[in-house]
Amino acid sequence: MVFPFRSLEDFKIEINQDHELFRESMKEFMEKEVRQHVEKGENSGDIPKEIKEKSKELGLYGLDMPEKYGGQGGNYIYLLIATEEMSRVWPSMATFFLINWMFSNAINKFGSEYLKEKYIPDIVSGKKVAAFANTEPGAGTDVAGIQSVAKKIDDHYVITGKKMFITNGDIADYYIVTARTSSEEKRWKGISMFVIEKDFPGFKVESRISTTGLKASHTAELSLNEVKVPKENLVGEEGLGFKYAVASFDYARTIVSAQAVGIGQAALEKLLEYSLQRTSFNQKLASFQMVQQKISESMADIYSSRLMTYWAGNLYVEGKEDDYVSVASLAKFFSTEAAERTILRAMTVHGGYGVSVSTGLERMLRDIQILKTYEGTNDIQRLSAAKYMLKKVYGFS
């Protein structure tokens, strides 16, 4: 046994030649087709339509979805590779795809065949955009604290409530929405999940929310005023929405970790390039021991983050759910904070240029703050990982 997991097999990372070929394609795509649009896109708050169209050619919308629904049929590792390479150039773009993947994954895992056939093909083809509306003004990490209500009336549900900080919220066509189908006293047992469309009467995008980072990711506030939803649009079983939502966040968590790896990698590259380019006291910055220390510490941070991220991904692929959830929590908080440390080191080495907008480092620093918060705050990830260890190894709960 390899403490605290069952065997050495649980620590393996399997990345094959197809994965690496895909990585090269992603790198080429991001450098040739996307990088030139990043600053303008962040300033305008949008990802150009032409990039979204070209992304279809790589199959980015449905990487892990079954071929029968128009997907690529790849495994979870493809999502991590795509996310890392996107985030190395434009994290907002990775966030756009993350939410589309979350929607399709939830429908594919928990939805009826009717929902799969109706909604997944539109998302994986890039014809439609999806959002995942769970967070509310008074309920974020506390998923069971949502107040939106869904009342069953004959052959439909009527949903009323508000949703906050919803990514893709003002540009989506389809939304996964969580709402209470029984009393608040039941907490997590009384939540259900639904699919609604932007044109359903009573649904409204209240406003787009300006955020510190990921400025092209479209964060919005939504309201639902007696939105009539067909009973067929209930995802899975009534009352299991909390379980489905938590599973969806678990799915997304390591993808966020891959985002952080991509951002951290970009910061490390800037640190290395500038230290080799800049001369001070008749020496390259790279020749100074304090700079070398920052380089080596950043290398350790990013390499460790990448290994932990793909380790979690491998556990997901193998269906080792309990171990996966624990490692995903570790990967998420470690990778986001490792990226932040690397960015700050790079800013220090850049001196005055480090705080200028032109280097792109300040944008990375703003972006990483959001990654530390969404899909479960870093504090809750620490608690989750510790509770898993204490319960599994020592039987403490």
- Write out the catalytic residue numbers: 375
Identify any residues that bridge with 49 across adjacent strands, giving them in sequence order: none
**Phi, psi for residue 341 in degrees, rounded to 5:** -60, -40
Instruction: Indicate the pairing of strand 174-180 with strand 191-197.
Output: antiparallel
For residue 206, give every residue at least 6 positions away whose Cβ sits within 8 Å of its Cβ, in sequence order, or none.
162, 220, 221, 222, 223
Distance CA 87, CA 305 (A): 14
Distance CA 380, CA 299 (A): 26
Write out the two tokens for 28.
């080429």
Query: What is the DSSP code (8-state) at residue 358?
Result: G
Write out the two tokens for 168.
């893709």
Contacts for 61-64: CB closer than 8 Å, 24+ residues apart: 61/97, 61/100, 61/123, 61/124, 61/125, 61/126, 62/104, 62/120, 62/123, 62/124, 62/125, 63/101, 64/101, 64/105
Amino acid code (one letter) for 36: Q
**Dihedral sign (CA 184, 186, 188, 189):** negative
- DSSP-based helix, strand, coil % in the chain, nearest 5: 60, 15, 25
DSSP 121-188: HHHHTTSS-EEEE--BTTBSS-GGG---EEEEETTEEEEEEEEEEEETTTT-SEEEEEEESS-GGGGG
Write out the two tokens for 171.
């540009």
Distance CA 358, CA 356 (A): 5
Amino acid code (one letter) for 359: T
Cα–Cα–Cα angle for 258, 249, 131, rounded to 5 degrees:
95
Q: Are 214 and 367 in contact (CB under 8 A)?
A: yes
